[in-house]
Chain A
């Protein structure tokens, strides 16, 4: 809606006219209004004369720009030193320093805080810090050494356990062996009459020579292994048999007297020559000692049966252990692709059984008995 101009609102139109805010139709209305009111036209002309001209005023802005430098001078010094200033800041601060001699001197002090590397200080023993090149060990070498070490460990453990057992057994054997030898030597003098009787009775009862030897051996073994109680048993046997066959020829007795020591000597030789037999006796004697501690009233045959079976069991367990070890060693040899040997050997000179282990680059022998 277009505004109407009259003598009450003409000032508003005049101001809009001077500001250039009237449109064309409003300007035409204003001109027709001024034509009808010439006194107001003079007022409008006066208003046009009041327009102000722009003055050229100069303000020192640089002083304002210096405010941050003056306020945080040290920070700007450090920032310039550390290269933290923007390009424009850098230029302005440099200009500031150039215009301010005191400030420049202060900045030069900051520049002197920059530490310089002291090349006189060097680490004295760098060579000792260095390391040699690591060498790659081939797998086959590791596996070979590993297998050898495993076997060595196996035998160490095995041998230790065996030697521990044998240590006790060996000492017992030595005692038993000495005892047995003494007994065999002493027997003919001490028990000669009884043994003579035994052999005599055997001869008269038409037993074979082999049987007589066996009995003789048994007697000897009995004497070796057993002490007085067993001797008493033989006494009882002799007594019964002597009652049954009392008539005796003195010549026969004399001939048997000659043969008896031979039998004993043969037994003694067997004992001394064959370690295996001695071992058996030793085993038995140990066991019999244990058995004798108990109030056993069994016969000779029963005693013989018991120690024989025990020895077999022990030897069997040793053989089984050897067999397992041998199978293990053979398998390891197969896996490693190497020749690995494990042998058990009996040395008659030392009367000991030795285990020999051989493979490429490694071989050892150890006594197990």
Chain B
């Protein structure tokens, strides 16, 4: 990989990475730092990274950096242990996007990550497995659980409305 390809990677993937991280940690400064760190790591290993696999490399690096950060901050909350009724407040949701964003926050870290990689970046189970260090079947299970949780949240909100 050369400098031109590196700069192309910045143009192509920086936004997606930033979006992915920001949706996960909800902290713009930290998301920026993680993206920057990931590109710095790429630059240090530029000789060893194939341009065809640079997207996967970047997302893998960013994902693991983010997980380390989350572990440090110990901000873990598993959707599976959360009663949806807890969130049934009187607040009105303007649109589905807002509802989904709230629902997304309620997911566990791993469920949120895999569903974002799946929907935002269109990754296959195998690619997500590579990024997250999980097996394909584990990725599939997490995605299925995430979908059910999201549907459950949306359904409960609609029922209330």
Residues of A within 8 A of B (CB): 74-75, 77-78, 81-82, 84, 106, 109-110, 112-118, 121-126, 129-134
- CB pair B3–A132 under 8 Å, yes or no, is yes
Question: For B36, what are the chain A residues with a Cβ–Cβ distance below 8 Å?
Answer: 129
- CB pair A121–B144 under 8 Å, yes or no, is no
A122 and B18 in contact (CB under 8 A), knowing A109-B155, A112-B96, A113-B100?
A: yes
Asked whether any CB of chain A lies closer than 8 Å to the CB of B104, the reply is yes
Can you offer 15 A-B residue contacts whose CB atoms are under 8 A?
Answer: A74-B148, A109-B151, A109-B154, A109-B155, A110-B151, A113-B150, A114-B119, A116-B97, A118-B97, A121-B15, A121-B23, A123-B17, A131-B43, A132-B3, A134-B3
- CB pair B15–A123 under 8 Å, yes or no, is yes
- CB pair B148–A78 under 8 Å, yes or no, is yes
Question: For A82, what are the chain B residues with a Cβ–Cβ distance below 8 Å?
Answer: 118, 143, 147
- CB pair B3–A115 under 8 Å, yes or no, is no
Excluding A110-B151, A113-B100, A131-B7, 11 further A-B contacts by CB distance (< 8 Å) are A78-B147, A82-B118, A84-B140, A109-B151, A118-B23, A121-B18, A122-B15, A123-B18, A123-B35, A129-B10, A132-B3
Asked whether any CB of chain A lies closer than 8 Å to the CB of B120, the reply is yes
Asked whether any CB of chain A lies closer than 8 Å to the CB of B131, the reply is no
A3 and B7 alpha carbons, distance in the complex (Å): 95
Tell me which of B11, B32, B103 contacts A124 (CB under 8 A): B32
A115 and B15 in contact (CB under 8 A), knowing A74-B148, A109-B151, A129-B36?
A: no
Asked whether any CB of chain A lies closer than 8 Å to the CB of B84, the reply is no
- CB pair B147–A126 under 8 Å, yes or no, is no
- CB pair B6–A115 under 8 Å, yes or no, is no
- CB pair B19–A117 under 8 Å, yes or no, is yes
- CB pair B10–A126 under 8 Å, yes or no, is yes
Q: Give, as a whole number of angstroms, the nearest-CB distance from B115 to chain A.
A: 7
Task: Tally the A-B contacts, defined by beta carbons under 8 Å.
Answer: 83
Q: Give, as a whole number of angstroms, the nearest-CB distance from B68 to chain A.
A: 20
Question: For B143, what are the chain A residues with a Cβ–Cβ distance below 8 Å?
Answer: 78, 82
- CB pair A121–B19 under 8 Å, yes or no, is yes
Residue of chain A at shortest CB distance from B39: A129
- CB pair B15–A113 under 8 Å, yes or no, is no
Asked whether any CB of chain A lies closer than 8 Å to the CB of B14, the reply is yes
Residues of B within 8 A of A (CB): 3-4, 6-7, 10-11, 14-15, 17-19, 22-23, 32, 35-36, 39, 43, 96-97, 100, 103-104, 115-116, 118-120, 140, 143-144, 147-148, 150-151, 154-155, 158
A123 and B14 in contact (CB under 8 A), knowing A131-B7, A132-B3?
A: yes
Residue of chain B at shortest CB distance from A113: B150
Question: For A126, what are the chain B residues with a Cβ–Cβ distance below 8 Å?
Answer: 10-11, 14-15
Question: For A74, what are the chain B residues with a Cβ–Cβ distance below 8 Å?
Answer: 148, 151
- CB pair B22–A121 under 8 Å, yes or no, is yes
In the A-B complex, list the 7 residue pairs whose CB atoms are closest, starting with the nearest.
A115-B119, A113-B150, A123-B18, A123-B14, A121-B19, A130-B7, A78-B147
- CB pair B147–A81 under 8 Å, yes or no, is yes
A129 and B151 in contact (CB under 8 A), knowing A115-B120, A123-B35, A134-B3?
A: no
Tell me which of A113, A124, A131 contacts B147 (CB under 8 A): A113
Question: For B104, what are the chain A residues with a Cβ–Cβ distance below 8 Å?
Answer: 115
Q: Give, as a whole number of angstroms, the nearest-CB distance from B32 to chain A.
A: 7
Residue of chain A at shortest CB distance from B149: A113
Question: For B119, what are the chain A residues with a Cβ–Cβ distance below 8 Å?
Answer: 114-117
Question: For B116, what are the chain A residues with a Cβ–Cβ distance below 8 Å?
Answer: 115
Q: Give, as a whole number of angstroms, the nearest-CB distance from A104 to chain B.
A: 14
- CB pair B15–A131 under 8 Å, yes or no, is no
Residue of chain A at shortest CB distance from B13: A123
Residue of chain A at shortest CB distance from B43: A131
Tell me which of A84, A115, A132 contacts B115 (CB under 8 A): A115
A132 and B4 alpha carbons, distance in the complex (Å): 9
- CB pair B147–A110 under 8 Å, yes or no, is yes
Tell me which of B10, B100, B118 contacts A130 (CB under 8 A): B10
